[in-house]
Amino acid sequence: MNLNTKRWPYMKHNNSIIKLLISILLIGFAFRLFFYRSKEFATDVVAVTAFVNETEVPKNQTFGSIPIVEPPVSVAVPGPEDHLEDYDDEKCDLFIGDWIPNPSGPIYTNASCPLIEGHQNCMRNGRPDSGYLYWRWNPRACELPQFDAQRFLDLMRNKTWALIGDSISRNHVQSLLCMLSTVEQAVEVYHDEEYKSKRWLFPLYNFTVSVIWSPFLVEAAIFEDNNGVSTSEVELYLDKLDKKWTDIYQGIDYLIISTGKWFLKSAVYHENDTVIGCHYCPKRNLTELGFDFAYSKALRSVMNFIATSHHNGLIFFRTSTPDHFENGEWHNGGTCQGTTPVKEGEIKLKDLNQILRDIELVEFKKAASKAAENGVSLKLLDYTKLLLLRPDGHPGPYREFHPFAKDKNATVQNDCLHWCLPGPMDSWNDVIMEMVINWLNKSQS
């Protein structure tokens, strides 16, 4: 290679000038970029401040169709920062905590979500107070971020959920769909003949949510109408799981399975295709075995199926929820008049609810260790005590549309079992999202 050494000093000098010019340009560009980002940051701060001011709950306005009462402000509310990386399910019990004021209120209304069933649509039905809307669940040992619908849908792209159980599961699925509807409205793509089992699709995410009607989780012949009036005892097959959920079980990525209150009904018990006894069947010459016997047997069958299923998704078992009937029950004039949450120790779980819960915890504990050995992810959603503190969250007489419109002293059916939407049940989804992301983090590590 022939180098022209005479040109080298000139080229070296010329290169030095070029380098100097480039350095000046880079310094100028950096200064301009810094100045621009500083202005942009200041603009962002102003915008965020304006947004916070605009989203404060205004006084003397309306939420949906009823007046807003001034929300409680006695406790500072932590922000919605995401602390999932710090969450440790062995150190933080998400189900021990308190209901704290949430001045921002729910993220949806009965007007924005068309999926709320009439009996849980307390605002539309004329419930006069709204304070029950302004609380959220706060675990004592750790912070719980509020539900992020956009992030949840991103995580659930091409996934499937199923909520399996009774009308409380239907109540819950409405809450979940309403919260997700703030990002995309779900499209109903299936329902059974009685409209008790349904499936919805979020098209943009190819994400499906199903509710499967199976109030006992085992096979049952039920002879009652929509108002709970029975013409005969339930025929319950304790050793045969309900195929409505077992047939689709392996194809679902995430499941929430629950039961409970239906076992309190009069029922005849079958095992090995033989009648073995009953619960509250005075007209039949059968051995009284008690609902606790049947509940233990049925849950044991369910839990054994799950623990040995080698399912590779995430399965939740949800404990039964308490009711707040006072001065009677559903069938004999019980009511619920609460308008605020109560504190731990101010209310006691009813004996029947305690029996159900004790059975659930015993059977879950036995199944959890077996599930872990088989690589099945089985988690407990222990909402019993969480909801015990919310006697204000039920529809009460407002399960029907304006029940006192014609007569202020009318005797009406109260619902102190299901939950108003929006309402306390929405906090369930805060907990579920935290547990799901923690499980995803661990399974991917």
Q: Tell me what pLDDT residue 233 has.
A: 94
- CA distances for 407 relative to 60, 224, 247, angstroms: 27, 30, 49
The model's confidence at residue 48, banded by pLDDT at 50, 70 and 90, is: very low
Q: Tell me what pLDDT residue 55 has.
A: 31
Q: Look at the alpha carbons of 199, 209, 96, 302 in this order and tell me if their dihedral is positive or negative.
A: positive
192: left (phi over 0), alpha (psi -120 to 50) or beta: beta
Could you list the active site residues? Answer: 167, 415, 418
Average pLDDT over every residue of 25-33: 44
Average pLDDT over every residue of 33-41: 36
The model's confidence at residue 294, banded by pLDDT at 50, 70 and 90, is: very high
Q: In whole angstroms, how large is the CA radius of gyration of the chain? A: 28
Is the confidence at residue 401, as pLDDT, over 80?
yes
| Helix and strand numbers, DSSP H then E, in the chain | 8, 15
Q: Tell me what pLDDT residue 88 has.
A: 56
* Out of 118-122, 230-234, 263-267, 414-418, least confident range: 230-234
Paired tokens of 216: 């006992």
| Cβ atoms of 236 and 297 closer than 8 Å | no
Is the confidence at residue 291, as pLDDT, over 80?
yes
Q: Tell me what pLDDT residue 268 has.
A: 97
Average pLDDT over every residue of 180-188: 97
The model's confidence at residue 43, banded by pLDDT at 50, 70 and 90, is: very low
- CA distances for 72 relative to 57, 136, 210, 272, 444, angstroms: 11, 11, 36, 56, 41
| Cβ atoms of 259 and 319 closer than 8 Å | no
Average pLDDT over every residue of 376-393: 97
Average pLDDT over every residue of 105-123: 95
The model's confidence at residue 332, banded by pLDDT at 50, 70 and 90, is: confident
Is the confidence at residue 19, as pLDDT, over 90?
no
* Out of 91-100, 174-183, 226-235, 260-269, least confident range: 226-235
Q: Tell me what pLDDT residue 416 has.
A: 97
Q: Tell me what pLDDT residue 371 has.
A: 97
The model's confidence at residue 5, banded by pLDDT at 50, 70 and 90, is: very low
d(CA 380, CA 174): 21
Average pLDDT over every residue of 360-383: 97
Q: Tell me what pLDDT residue 262 has.
A: 96
Is the confidence at residue 364, as pLDDT, over 60?
yes
- The whole-chain average pLDDT of the chain stands at 84
213: left (phi over 0), alpha (psi -120 to 50) or beta: beta
Average pLDDT over every residue of 2-22: 42
Average pLDDT over every residue of 136-144: 94
Average pLDDT over every residue of 283-301: 96
The model's confidence at residue 212, banded by pLDDT at 50, 70 and 90, is: very high
Three-state DSSP at 108 gives coil
